[in-house]
Chains A and B, each alone.
Chain A
Amino acid sequence: MMSVRVRTGPTGFQWDAARPLFQTAIVDLGPFRGSWGYAVAPDGRRFLILTRRPQGPSPAVAILNWKPAD
């Protein structure tokens, strides 16, 4: 999660460099799905994040001599 300090006023819109807030395990929604993967609570102190669950130790298999079920 990144943050950027911004300032508005008579001089227009100004911004600082982006800086990381914290590491997330946000779900990869990709740009073209157009869906938000997070939201900020009204108090600005909490983040609701669509988070990936931890993965098991063996998330894939190899199959030798496969056959469709009868």
Chain B
Amino acid sequence: MTMPAPGDRLGSFQIVAAIGSGGMGEVYRATDTRLGRDVALRLLPDAFASDPERLSRFEREAKLLASLNHSGIAHLYGFDAVTLEDGTKGHLLVMELVEGEDLAARLKRGAIPVAEAVGIARQIAEALEEAHEKGIVHRDLKPANVKLTPDGKVKVLDFGLAKAWSGDASSAQSSADLSQSPTLAHNGTAAGLILGTAAYMSPEQARGKPADRRADIWSFGVVLFEMLTGRALFGGETVSDVLAGVLAREIDWSPLPAETPPHVRHLLARCLERDPRQRLRDIGDARHELQEAGTSGPADKAGAWARPPRSRRGTALLVAGSGLACAALTFAVMSWRSASAPAASMVFSVPAPPSTRLNHVVISPDGRSLVFAAESASGESHLWLQQLDSRNARKLEGTEGAFEPFWSPDSRFVGFFSEAQPWKLEATTGAVEALTATNDARGGAWRPDGTIVFGGARLNRIQASGGEVGTALAVDGAAGENAIRYPSFLPDWLHTLYYSRNAKDRARAGLWVVSLDTGVRKQLTAAAASSAVYVEPGYLLYRRDRYLVAHPFDARRLELTGDPRPVAEDVWYEAGVTAQTNVSASTGGIVTLRTGGIEVSELAWYDRQGRPLSTEWEAKGFASLSLSPDGRQILTTLLGQGVERHLWLYDIEAATARQITSAGDMITNVFSDDGTRGLLGMHSGSTSGLWITRLGSGTAPEPLPTKGGTAAPFAMDWRGSRVIYASVTPRGDRFERSLYLLDLETGEDGPVVDTPGNELFGVISPDGRRLAYASDETGQWEVYVATSRRRASAGGSPPRAATSRAGTPTARSSSTSHPTGR
């Protein structure tokens, strides 16, 4: 048989070019002159055509294969007999011509990013599912049989040809049949072709046993593994080596990238079960596992920013509080990477760095590192870095005062806050760089393009490379919103979740999402007591009461779906409406959280040398403290049911407690001079303001009309008829606090200290002539003393000015940047 050359005609087909050769003949690009379309022609070899029975069988199979009609399957148009140039008979398979690069060529350039690989795998699974439902098994699935088209589609080639070629009803394909693979070798040798075929063969095929669609599922797993790792799962110099690997070699999972989602690992493990009875039985299950928003393949707009999906089914419920050590965590994670994907969830303790108190822990997106914010015994906070494959955490110098760290998406940098400004730190070198100045940062998030957003009195935006801080989202002051906290990006990196604090309307507080492009915002739920993190395959993790819950979430429609379900209990949180909790997740789905429930504290007495004397009441989640002038009673606030704090009066001598308020959210409280009344700063319904209550009377607090802003009133001091309170006033997109003096006898009410900064913690001197207060007017918190004639400032830090209270010289300051201690 003479091979056709470009320009030759084979029946109605005009040859354009030879495009490959293989065990099942030469393949040409040709033009179908009758239909005017380009096609791929496979010219079957002489030996095949000379066997009429085999030829007949092949024709029957080809008709069946031609019935496959799916966008992910290269179509078989027909089977023709033609007369060649030399007058001999030839037989042609007429196939859809698929443009693009095959997957084998793509893999020569290395691994494919996880999201892209998952998208390709999903399309392969769709094609297999279509064929399997028609009873057709590929039997020779491998990268060379997968085409990646220029428009981002995936097409599987040569469906069923192995069976058609062999004609074996059982479709066993022994090693002796390897050269019969229909796959084409563009530049390789026959030996290379055989090796390439063997590497994707299922164990039952390698043993020469009958193969069904589970063989395709095995091959699918081998292909997916290679896409994720860039290396063949079963390699070797000889066919025997390769087949030995297919049949017996323990699979090394460690090359899988860390960001491989657990459910993909799990899927791989199920596909690569050597016993077909234990293997995933339906490729549709694999397609379902992979079919998730934001991972639609190489043509997906999200591209490299897309996060890989996780299983909807997940595995098991958690119980926090394991007593295992971090070494166990290290072992577990490494084992998890090097063994079959686990069927059950695992919870491991994360101890704080040595001799520290842990304030925050965040896992890196690649799942390889933890960063801690932890305090030493002296109260100084630093960041610590721990690789999960190491037993030791490393203290990061230059991070004094650090809190609430967050990672860059590539896990190379850590953002954090300290001394009223955000910083960035390069994890490998430890290089630290300040980004900008701010005075109210709560939580940050970092986008791949270098945009950092962080919460506070607004949602701030700055570039990781530096520059001026801008406003990503201003608070909706008219609606009562007074803080935007703990942003966290969604998979499209265009929307961010955040917690909205609302002083006036509790129904508008809670979890929100905003588009950074358009500024359009939307409330997701008022039931969230914290912000949330998005975790594949479509959950938001946030805190409700003492539970971490997973709430199904449609990231494309920005809608919660279904009901939230608990994932873990005993989640740490602060008493009050700070929205602070500590939950993080790696891209691959490892979740870390701080545990312990509500932050519990003690009302503890100390002498002037700092020696502990005794405690009052039992340890609870106290959120404020005020001592009566006679030292016999304590006013404090405790979190009630929900998110509102209530006022309690504790009698020290009797050791009894009485709840004073049961409605509204208590912010601050102080005693009157005679200790019979309390001045309260409180949110109640849609009203925020000052209230007065006669302690022990059993009567409801009465509102105290004031002139100052009422976004969040702070009762500061009460001496004689004079009350000092802090007024919160929206100015542009920020809130500013200033001090007001109200005379209860005359009704006079007006600002006494009002600067461009914030003023808080005003206290009147015993002689009534001076006012001490804290201000961040200069950019850092300092204590000032003012008289009616002038104002004195300590300046710098230290020293800081002092004040007197209840006739006793004391200082209100702290070892860190804030007057009450951070």
Interface residues of A (CB under 8 A from B): 1-6, 8, 12-13, 15-18, 20-53, 55-70
A66 to B183, CA, bound (A): 41
A58 to B630, CA, bound (A): 41
Task: Report yes or no: A59 in contact with B352, Cβ–Cβ below 8 A.
Answer: yes
- B794-819 interface code vs A (CB 8 A; 1 in, 0 out): 10001111111111111101110011
| Closest chain B residue to A4, Cβ basis | B802
**If A24-B606, A65-B344 touch, does A4 touch B596 (CB 8 Å cutoff)?**
no
Task: Report yes or no: B798 in contact with A17, Cβ–Cβ below 8 A.
Answer: yes
Contact of B802 among A5, A50, A70 (CB under 8 A): A5
Query: Is B631 located at the chain interface by the 8 A CB criterion?
Result: yes
A30 to B807, CA, bound (A): 26
Stretch at the interface among B32-40, B72-80, B84-92, B316-324: B316-324
Task: Report yes or no: A64 in contact with B336, Cβ–Cβ below 8 A.
Answer: yes
Query: Is B410 located at the chain interface by the 8 A CB criterion?
Result: no
Interface range on chain B (Cβ under 8 Å from partner) = 35 or more
Q: Hey, which chain A residues are within 8 Å of B345, CB to CB?
A: 63-67
Number of A-B contacts (CB under 8 A): 320
| Closest chain B residue to A46, Cβ basis | B605
**If A35-B668, A57-B351, A68-B314 touch, does A63 touch B568 (CB 8 Å cutoff)?**
yes
Query: Is B719 located at the chain interface by the 8 A CB criterion?
Result: no
Query: Is B347 located at the chain interface by the 8 A CB criterion?
Result: yes
How many Å from the CB of A47 to the closest CB on chain B?
Answer: 5
Task: Report yes or no: A31 in contact with B800, Cβ–Cβ below 8 A.
Answer: no
A18 to B815, CA, bound (A): 11
Task: Report yes or no: A55 in contact with B352, Cβ–Cβ below 8 A.
Answer: yes
Most A C-beta atoms less than 10 A away, residue of B333, B567, B637, B821: B821
**If A22-B610, A39-B626 touch, does A61 touch B605 (CB 8 Å cutoff)?**
no
Query: Is B350 located at the chain interface by the 8 A CB criterion?
Result: yes
A9 to B356, CA, bound (A): 46
Q: Hey, which chain A residues are within 8 Å of B603, CB to CB?
A: 48, 50-51
A36 to B157, CA, bound (A): 73
**If A31-B818, A65-B346 touch, does A18 touch B813 (CB 8 Å cutoff)?**
yes
- B665-686 interface code vs A (CB 8 A; 1 in, 0 out): 0011000000000000100000
Closest 6 pairs (CB-CB, A-B): A22-B610, A67-B314, A4-B802, A44-B808, A34-B714, A39-B627
A68 to B540, CA, bound (A): 11
Q: Hey, which chain A residues are within 8 Å of B564, CB to CB?
A: 68
Stretch at the interface among B17-25, B199-207, B212-220, B615-623: B615-623
Task: Report yes or no: A35 in contact with B800, Cβ–Cβ below 8 A.
Answer: no
Query: Is B785 located at the chain interface by the 8 A CB criterion?
Result: yes
Query: Is B100 located at the chain interface by the 8 A CB criterion?
Result: no
Q: Hey, which chain B residues are within 8 Å of A61, CB to CB?
A: 320-322, 347-350, 568, 592-593, 595
A32 to B758, CA, bound (A): 9
Q: Hey, which chain B residues are within 8 Å of A59, CB to CB?
A: 350-352, 358, 572, 594-596
How many Å from the CB of A10 to the closest CB on chain B?
Answer: 13
| Closest chain B residue to A64, Cβ basis | B346
Question: Can you add 13 more A-B contacts, CB < 8 Å, to A35-B623, A61-B320?
Answer: A18-B798, A28-B821, A34-B668, A35-B714, A39-B627, A47-B608, A49-B606, A50-B624, A61-B593, A65-B262, A67-B315, A67-B345, A68-B314
Contact of A63 among B593, B781, B807, B810 (CB under 8 A): B593
Task: Report yes or no: A2 in contact with B811, Cβ–Cβ below 8 A.
Answer: yes
Contact of B347 among A2, A25, A53, A63 (CB under 8 A): A63
**If A2-B813, A32-B440, A41-B627 touch, does A65 touch B568 (CB 8 Å cutoff)?**
no
